[in-house]
């Protein structure tokens, strides 16, 4: 199974258990930018303890899930992962954080067809901001390049004002300026 196929299984289960979500990270980058190989998937979720427990129970037999890690992540608004037994593919489930940015990011998500099914995906601007944050934290050239590729492909549809506002709040203005410089060089 591919990462996309395993992600579809997880997304189907999230929807069946009425858990709101959005695809972020490399899968979202692939949908808005230039596709590249990825070994896992990142999904932001918004749920309560009851729906999380129900979701976790539904995964038993197909996925390794540490129930306590999932509940701890819900409580601390952090991340836990699940691993698909037969493929070894890991899905990171990120409980939506309380920051103002994350609330607006979640509100701006949109439905995009992912493998033939409408799925909730972070907006191109929010994927760019997320990639720039990860680039700053880990000094990752791959994350930065993903952001540049999204900006190149979505160039005429990007809300630059939104990007600048949140880049300032997220302390990634220098990276955003570099991104725009790289995009403008490619014109």
- Matching CATH number, 3-121, of 2.40.50.140, 3.30.930.10, 3.30.460.40, 1.10.10.10: 3.30.460.40
pLDDT in tens, 115-174: 889 999 999 999 999 999 988 887 678 889 999 999 999 888 999 999 999 999 999 999
- Are the CB atoms for 43 and 24 separated by under 8 Å? yes
CA–CA gap between residue 170 and residue 153 (Å, rounded) = 23
pLDDT in tens, 54-77: 999 999 999 999 999 999 999 999
Instruction: Return the number of other C-beta atoms located less than 10 Å from residue 115's C-beta.
Output: 11
Instruction: Pick left, alpha or beta for residue 25 (phi over 0 → left; psi -120 to 50 → alpha; otherwise beta).
Output: left
pTM: 0.91
pLDDT in tens, 73-107: 999 999 999 999 999 999 999 999 989 999 999 99
Q: How many residues does the chain have?
A: 187
Among residues 97, 123, 94, the alpha carbon closest in space to that of 108 is found at 123
- Residue 21: beta bridge partners? 45
CA–CA gap between residue 171 and residue 167 (Å, rounded) = 6
Residue span(s) of the chain under CATH 3.30.460.40 come to: 3-121
């Amino acid at each position: 199974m591919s990462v996309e196929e395993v992600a579809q299984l997880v997304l189907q289960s999230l929807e069946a258990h009425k858990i709101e979500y959005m695809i972020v990270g490399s899968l979202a980058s692939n949908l808005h930018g230039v596709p590249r190989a990825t070994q896992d998937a990142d999904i932001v979720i918004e749920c309560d303890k009851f729906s999380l427990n129900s979701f976790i129970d539904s995964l038993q037999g197909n996925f390794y899930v540490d129930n306590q890690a999932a509940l701890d992540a819900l409580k601390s608004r952090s991340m836990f992962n699940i691993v698909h037994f037969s493929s070894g593919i890991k899905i990171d489930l990120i409980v939506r954080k309380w920051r103002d940015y994350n609330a607006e990011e979640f509100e701006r998500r949109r439905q995009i067809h992912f493998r033939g099914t409408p799925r909730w995906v972070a907006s191109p601007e929010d994927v760019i901001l997320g990639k720039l944050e990860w680039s700053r934290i880990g000094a990752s050239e791959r994350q930065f390049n993903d952001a540049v590729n999204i900006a190149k492909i979505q160039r005429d549809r990007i809300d630059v004002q939104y990007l600048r506002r949140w880049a300032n709040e997220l302390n990634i203005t220098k990276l955003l300026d570099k991104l725009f410089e790289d995009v403008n060089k490619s014109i």
